[in-house]
Homo-oligomer: A and B are copies of this chain.
Amino acid sequence: MLRPTRQTNQGNSAALSSKPIKTGPRVYEEIRRMAMDYRFKPNERINEVALAARLNVSRSPIREALQRLVTEELITFQTNRGFFCRGFDVDEIVNLSDVRAVLEERSVRLAIQRASDEELAALVDWWTLTMARADSFSSTELTARDEEFHIRIARLSGNPELARMLEGINTRIHFVRKIEVEKHRRLSTTYTEHSEIARAMVARDADGAARLMHDHIAISVADAMSTVREGLARIYVDVDVDQI
Protein backbone atom coordinates (compact mmCIF):
# COMPACT_ATOMS: atom_id res chain seq x y z
CA MET A 1 0.00 0.00 0.00
CA LEU A 2 0.80 3.64 -0.03
CA ARG A 3 2.44 4.55 -3.28
CA PRO A 4 5.07 1.94 -4.11
CA THR A 5 6.54 3.84 -7.05
CA ARG A 6 8.90 6.75 -6.76
CA GLN A 7 7.13 10.06 -6.72
CA THR A 8 8.58 13.09 -8.40
CA ASN A 9 8.80 15.00 -5.14
CA GLN A 10 5.66 17.02 -5.70
CA GLY A 11 2.49 14.91 -5.82
CA ASN A 12 2.57 14.05 -2.12
CA SER A 13 -0.33 14.59 0.25
CA ALA A 14 -2.33 12.82 -2.45
CA ALA A 15 -4.00 15.69 -4.26
CA LEU A 16 -5.42 16.91 -0.99
CA SER A 17 -3.66 20.25 -1.07
CA SER A 18 -3.41 21.57 -4.58
CA LYS A 19 -0.73 24.05 -3.47
CA PRO A 20 2.85 22.87 -3.74
CA ILE A 21 3.58 23.12 -0.02
CA LYS A 22 7.16 22.25 0.79
CA THR A 23 7.26 18.94 2.58
CA GLY A 24 9.96 19.91 5.05
CA PRO A 25 8.10 22.74 6.76
CA ARG A 26 4.80 20.92 6.42
CA VAL A 27 6.15 17.81 8.12
CA TYR A 28 7.68 19.89 10.90
CA GLU A 29 4.45 21.74 11.54
CA GLU A 30 2.41 18.58 11.48
CA ILE A 31 4.58 16.70 13.95
CA ARG A 32 4.80 19.75 16.12
CA ARG A 33 1.06 19.95 16.35
CA MET A 34 0.87 16.26 17.16
CA ALA A 35 3.36 16.70 19.98
CA MET A 36 1.60 19.77 21.33
CA ASP A 37 -1.68 17.87 21.50
CA TYR A 38 -0.11 14.74 22.96
CA ARG A 39 -1.12 12.65 20.00
CA PHE A 40 1.86 10.61 21.08
CA LYS A 41 1.40 9.05 24.48
CA PRO A 42 3.77 10.35 27.18
CA ASN A 43 7.18 8.67 27.03
CA GLU A 44 6.08 6.63 24.05
CA ARG A 45 8.70 5.79 21.52
CA ILE A 46 8.12 7.49 18.20
CA ASN A 47 8.64 5.13 15.30
CA GLU A 48 10.30 6.96 12.44
CA VAL A 49 9.21 4.65 9.66
CA ALA A 50 5.62 4.55 10.83
CA LEU A 51 5.52 8.32 11.07
CA ALA A 52 7.15 8.64 7.67
CA ALA A 53 4.57 6.33 6.13
CA ARG A 54 1.76 8.22 7.82
CA LEU A 55 2.95 11.53 6.38
CA ASN A 56 3.94 10.03 3.03
CA VAL A 57 7.55 11.09 3.15
CA SER A 58 10.89 9.44 3.78
CA ARG A 59 12.66 9.40 7.11
CA SER A 60 14.98 12.30 6.32
CA PRO A 61 12.52 15.17 6.77
CA ILE A 62 10.98 13.30 9.68
CA ARG A 63 14.27 13.11 11.52
CA GLU A 64 15.12 16.72 10.81
CA ALA A 65 11.79 17.86 12.16
CA LEU A 66 12.16 15.65 15.21
CA GLN A 67 15.61 17.04 15.93
CA ARG A 68 14.20 20.53 15.90
CA LEU A 69 11.43 19.51 18.24
CA VAL A 70 14.00 18.06 20.59
CA THR A 71 15.52 21.44 21.29
CA GLU A 72 12.05 22.85 21.64
CA GLU A 73 11.64 20.29 24.42
CA LEU A 74 8.54 18.90 22.78
CA ILE A 75 10.14 15.49 22.44
CA THR A 76 13.23 13.78 23.81
CA PHE A 77 15.96 11.78 22.17
CA GLN A 78 18.35 8.99 23.10
CA THR A 79 21.17 7.91 20.83
CA ASN A 80 20.52 4.60 19.13
CA ARG A 81 17.13 4.40 20.77
CA GLY A 82 15.32 7.14 18.96
CA PHE A 83 12.80 9.82 19.74
CA PHE A 84 10.25 9.75 22.50
CA CYS A 85 7.25 11.79 23.40
CA ARG A 86 7.96 14.02 26.38
CA GLY A 87 6.41 13.06 29.69
CA PHE A 88 3.41 14.74 31.20
CA ASP A 89 4.70 15.85 34.52
CA VAL A 90 3.45 17.99 37.38
CA ASP A 91 6.90 19.34 38.28
CA GLU A 92 7.58 20.42 34.74
CA ILE A 93 4.30 22.28 34.54
CA VAL A 94 4.89 24.03 37.83
CA ASN A 95 8.42 24.99 36.88
CA LEU A 96 7.38 26.28 33.49
CA SER A 97 4.62 28.32 35.06
CA ASP A 98 7.13 29.89 37.39
CA VAL A 99 9.39 30.92 34.54
CA ARG A 100 6.44 32.06 32.53
CA ALA A 101 5.17 34.25 35.34
CA VAL A 102 8.50 36.06 35.55
CA LEU A 103 8.72 36.60 31.82
CA GLU A 104 5.11 37.72 31.45
CA GLU A 105 5.57 40.23 34.24
CA ARG A 106 8.53 41.67 32.43
CA SER A 107 6.50 41.57 29.26
CA VAL A 108 3.64 43.73 30.57
CA ARG A 109 6.03 46.14 32.20
CA LEU A 110 7.89 46.68 28.95
CA ALA A 111 4.67 46.91 26.98
CA ILE A 112 3.33 49.57 29.32
CA GLN A 113 6.59 51.40 28.94
CA ARG A 114 6.83 51.18 25.17
CA ALA A 115 3.46 50.61 23.53
CA SER A 116 1.47 53.51 22.18
CA ASP A 117 -1.98 54.44 23.42
CA GLU A 118 -3.44 53.24 20.15
CA GLU A 119 -1.81 49.85 20.46
CA LEU A 120 -3.10 49.38 23.97
CA ALA A 121 -6.56 50.52 22.99
CA ALA A 122 -6.52 48.01 20.16
CA LEU A 123 -5.65 45.29 22.63
CA VAL A 124 -8.60 46.18 24.83
CA ASP A 125 -10.96 46.37 21.87
CA TRP A 126 -9.85 43.06 20.49
CA TRP A 127 -10.29 41.29 23.79
CA THR A 128 -13.68 42.90 24.41
CA LEU A 129 -14.83 41.66 21.05
CA THR A 130 -13.45 38.21 21.78
CA MET A 131 -15.26 38.06 25.09
CA ALA A 132 -18.51 39.03 23.42
CA ARG A 133 -18.15 36.13 21.02
CA ALA A 134 -16.80 33.74 23.61
CA ASP A 135 -19.85 31.50 23.66
CA SER A 136 -19.60 30.79 19.97
CA PHE A 137 -16.00 29.59 20.20
CA SER A 138 -14.94 26.02 20.63
CA SER A 139 -12.50 25.24 23.41
CA THR A 140 -9.73 24.99 20.87
CA GLU A 141 -10.53 28.41 19.45
CA LEU A 142 -10.84 29.87 22.89
CA THR A 143 -7.46 28.47 23.86
CA ALA A 144 -5.97 30.04 20.77
CA ARG A 145 -7.45 33.41 21.77
CA ASP A 146 -6.07 33.03 25.27
CA GLU A 147 -2.62 32.34 23.87
CA GLU A 148 -2.91 35.22 21.46
CA PHE A 149 -3.73 37.66 24.23
CA HIS A 150 -0.42 36.95 25.90
CA ILE A 151 1.49 36.86 22.66
CA ARG A 152 0.17 40.28 21.73
CA ILE A 153 1.45 41.72 24.95
CA ALA A 154 4.80 40.06 24.39
CA ARG A 155 5.01 41.64 20.96
CA LEU A 156 4.16 45.03 22.42
CA SER A 157 7.09 44.64 24.79
CA GLY A 158 9.36 45.37 21.86
CA ASN A 159 11.69 42.58 22.86
CA PRO A 160 11.52 39.79 20.28
CA GLU A 161 13.67 37.48 22.37
CA LEU A 162 11.25 37.74 25.24
CA ALA A 163 8.35 37.06 22.89
CA ARG A 164 10.09 34.07 21.39
CA MET A 165 10.77 32.48 24.75
CA LEU A 166 7.19 32.95 25.81
CA GLU A 167 6.04 31.37 22.59
CA GLY A 168 8.29 28.43 23.32
CA ILE A 169 6.73 28.01 26.72
CA ASN A 170 3.29 28.38 25.25
CA THR A 171 3.76 25.50 22.87
CA ARG A 172 4.95 23.33 25.73
CA ILE A 173 2.00 24.10 27.98
CA HIS A 174 -0.56 24.24 25.21
CA PHE A 175 -2.22 21.02 26.26
CA VAL A 176 -2.35 22.08 29.88
CA ARG A 177 -3.76 25.42 28.96
CA LYS A 178 -6.50 23.89 26.86
CA ILE A 179 -7.66 21.88 29.83
CA GLU A 180 -7.57 24.93 32.05
CA VAL A 181 -9.60 26.91 29.55
CA GLU A 182 -12.33 24.31 29.65
CA LYS A 183 -12.24 24.22 33.42
CA HIS A 184 -12.47 27.99 33.70
CA ARG A 185 -15.07 28.17 31.01
CA ARG A 186 -17.63 27.22 33.62
CA LEU A 187 -16.22 29.80 35.99
CA SER A 188 -15.40 32.24 33.17
CA THR A 189 -12.82 33.94 35.38
CA THR A 190 -10.01 33.95 32.82
CA TYR A 191 -11.70 36.48 30.59
CA THR A 192 -12.32 39.05 33.26
CA GLU A 193 -8.72 38.66 34.39
CA HIS A 194 -7.53 39.49 30.91
CA SER A 195 -9.77 42.52 30.87
CA GLU A 196 -8.38 43.73 34.13
CA ILE A 197 -4.83 43.34 32.89
CA ALA A 198 -5.60 45.24 29.72
CA ARG A 199 -7.27 48.01 31.68
CA ALA A 200 -4.28 48.35 33.96
CA MET A 201 -2.07 48.58 30.91
CA VAL A 202 -4.13 51.38 29.41
CA ALA A 203 -3.91 53.16 32.74
CA ARG A 204 -0.11 52.68 32.55
CA ASP A 205 -0.23 51.06 35.97
CA ALA A 206 2.89 48.91 35.71
CA ASP A 207 2.93 47.52 39.22
CA GLY A 208 -0.76 46.75 39.14
CA ALA A 209 -0.61 45.07 35.76
CA ALA A 210 2.42 43.04 36.78
CA ARG A 211 0.67 41.86 39.92
CA LEU A 212 -2.48 40.96 38.03
CA MET A 213 -0.46 39.10 35.46
CA HIS A 214 1.42 37.19 38.11
CA ASP A 215 -1.75 36.13 39.88
CA HIS A 216 -3.30 35.24 36.57
CA ILE A 217 -0.49 32.86 35.72
CA ALA A 218 0.54 31.52 39.08
CA ILE A 219 -0.66 27.98 39.54
CA SER A 220 -0.81 26.00 42.75
CA VAL A 221 0.70 22.56 42.87
CA ALA A 222 -2.73 21.22 43.72
CA ASP A 223 -4.21 22.82 40.62
CA ALA A 224 -1.39 21.45 38.51
CA MET A 225 -1.97 17.98 39.88
CA SER A 226 -5.65 18.13 39.15
CA THR A 227 -4.97 19.35 35.64
CA VAL A 228 -2.44 16.60 35.04
CA ARG A 229 -4.93 14.03 36.21
CA GLU A 230 -7.52 15.37 33.82
CA GLY A 231 -4.96 15.56 31.02
CA LEU A 232 -3.80 11.99 31.43
CA ALA A 233 -7.38 10.83 31.27
CA ARG A 234 -7.85 12.58 27.94
CA ILE A 235 -4.59 11.40 26.50
CA TYR A 236 -5.42 7.80 27.14
CA VAL A 237 -9.09 7.85 26.20
CA ASP A 238 -9.14 9.80 22.92
CA VAL A 239 -8.68 7.51 19.97
CA ASP A 240 -6.97 8.23 16.70
CA VAL A 241 -9.79 8.48 14.19
CA ASP A 242 -7.88 9.90 11.26
CA GLN A 243 -6.33 6.98 9.42
CA ILE A 244 -5.84 8.61 6.01
Contacts and interface: CB of A to CB of B under 8 A. Distances in A.
A161 B102 CA distance: 13
B96 A161 contact: yes
A223 to B, nearest CB: 18
A70 interface: yes
Contact of A99 (B25, B96, B162): B162
Interface string A46-88: 0000000000000010011101101111000001100000000
A95 B25 contact: no
Nearest to A159: B95
A176 to B, nearest CB: 14
In the complex, which of the residues A64, A92, A161 has the most CB atoms of chain B within 10 Å of its own CB atom?
Answer: A161
A73 B165 CA distance: 11
Given A79-B22, A79-B25, A99 B159 contact: yes
B165 A99 contact: yes
In the complex, which of the residues A70, A79, A102 has the most CB atoms of chain B within 10 Å of its own CB atom?
Answer: A102
Contacts of A65: 67
Given A98-B159, A99-B161, A24 B79 contact: yes
A160 interface: yes
A230 to B, nearest CB: 22
Contacts of A24: 79
30 contacts: A22-B80, A24-B79, A60-B60, A64-B64, A64-B67, A67-B67, A67-B68, A68-B68, A68-B70, A68-B71, A73-B164, A95-B159, A95-B160, A95-B161, A95-B162, A96-B161, A98-B106, A98-B159, A98-B162, A99-B103, A99-B106, A99-B159, A99-B161, A99-B162, A99-B165, A102-B102, A102-B103, A102-B106, A103-B103, A165-B165
